[in-house]
Structure 1
Amino acid sequence: MIERLVPHDILDSLDKYDRIVVGGIISVAGHDDRVLFLKRSKHEFMPDAWEIPSGGIEEGESMLKALKREIKEETNLEVFDVGGFVSAVDYLAKDNKCLQLNFNVCCRGDVQLSNEHSEFIFSKIDSFVNNLDDFMLRVIKPG
């Protein structure tokens, strides 16, 4: 249960949101301190934006199950450890109040992107921040 990693005040506020999203700041075995960034495909919402794997929690799904499912769907990687809670970032999408909960995640496997993304890169966060929008900067909290 990764819910125990999320601060209580954030957990207590989840009912204020229309949609809860989980995201993984992924490090992969053998890639030292670099994390995985995905570039959204041109036909997707926010085309060409760099992001981390993320997606909504489905009805009856735990945060951990949703995080594992989304990472598998978007990257084909297997989650083997969730290291900790990183951030909670709220936003509006199609008039829905959303909250994205982000976790440090260790994965294994070879990246195979879904059609949602066109590229990926493993990079140190501090050397990649110029490629990220304000939302992603709030998600990863660099520095």
Structure 2
Amino acid sequence: MNDSQLKLENQLCHRLYMAANGIVRSYRPLLEAIDLTYPQYVVMMAMWEHEKLTIASLLEKTAIDGGAMTLILKKMVAKSLLDIVKDEHDKRKKWVTLTAQGLQLKSQALQIPQQIRCCFPSVSTEDLKQLTQLLDKILVDL
């Protein structure tokens, strides 16, 4: 083993870290316009897709930490975007549902994916497909 393996420029994890941070920074001004943080946006995308999910399902779909999710949901309930209700048959289970205001926000967010895509003109559609496939392989191994 030689010390070139410890050079920052040779670290895949650091490239992923820098890319993830850069992408999230690119979202910031777009999400500020609709008063969401990136984690809140991730929750809203899951909710726009399903409209009603248990908290456990929401955790699974978003891969957000449980403690962080609790804080995110509290803020989103306070913003009147989501409601949380206990299951009628199992009081331990809680459902997250979209409010009318949360559903309305979807129309304001529709342009965000294309606006983000425009931030990366040197990345082709084929590159994105390949990157998605490679990241999915990495995620399977985690």
Quick one: higher RCO (CA 8 Å, sep 6+), 1 or 2? 1
For normalisation by structure 1, the TM-score amounts to 0.27
For normalisation by structure 2, the TM-score amounts to 0.28
Relative to total residues, which structure has the larger helix share, 1 or 2? 2
